Homo-oligomer: A and B are copies of this chain.
C-alpha cells in the first residue's frame, strides 16, 4: 500500500472500531490486524494511540462538515427542508446498524469529555461547527418568512443538536427507532413552526 493509503485505511478501521467499542476498549493491535498493517508502519503515521484517536476525530469532523455543507448549502431546497434532509440522512445511516454504533461525537463526548481535554476540545469544535451551520439555515428560513422570528437561531440549533444526540442515546438504549421518530415529529411539527 502507498503510505497515504495506509494512513487512510488505519483511520477507516479505527473509526469503525472506536465507534463500536469506544476509545479505551480499542487496542492498536486490533486496528493493525483488521487493517493488515505492521506496527512499525502505524508509528510512522501516528506518534501514539492518542494521536491516532485525535486523527480519527478530525477525519470524522471533516466528513461531517462536508456532509453538512452538501445538505445545508443546497439552495434549491427550502432551508428547513435542508435540515430535515440532513437529519433524515444521518438517522438512516445510524438505523442501518440498529443504532449499535451511534454518532462518534456523542460516543466519545460521553466517554472522554472528562478524561482527556485534547479530545474534548476537538469534540466541542465539531459540535460548534454543526450548530453554527444549522443556525445559519434557521436564520435563512426566518428571512424567507418560513420560521417564527421568536426563535433564536443559535439557541434553537444547539437544542436540535442536543436533542438529536439524546434521541440517539434513547434509541440505542431501547433498541427502537421510536425515539428518532418522536424527535423528528416534535422538532419539525412543533419547534420549527411557521410564523
Contact = CB atoms under 8 A, between A and B. Distances in A.
A77 to B, nearest CB: 24
A110 interface: yes
Contact of A169 (B25, B165, B174): B165
A162 B170 contact: yes
Given A170-B161, A173-B124, A151 B113 contact: no
A173 B130 CA distance: 14
How many copies the complex holds: the figure is 2
Interface in A140-167: 151, 155-156, 158-159, 161-167
Interface residues on A, range: 35 or more
Most interface-central of A105, A114, A167 (chain B CB within 10 A): A114
Given A123-B173, A124-B174, A162 B183 contact: yes
Contact of A170 (B20, B165, B172): B165
Q: Give 6 closest A-B pairs by Cβ, nearest first.
A: A166-B166, A109-B173, A162-B166, A163-B163, A165-B166, A162-B170
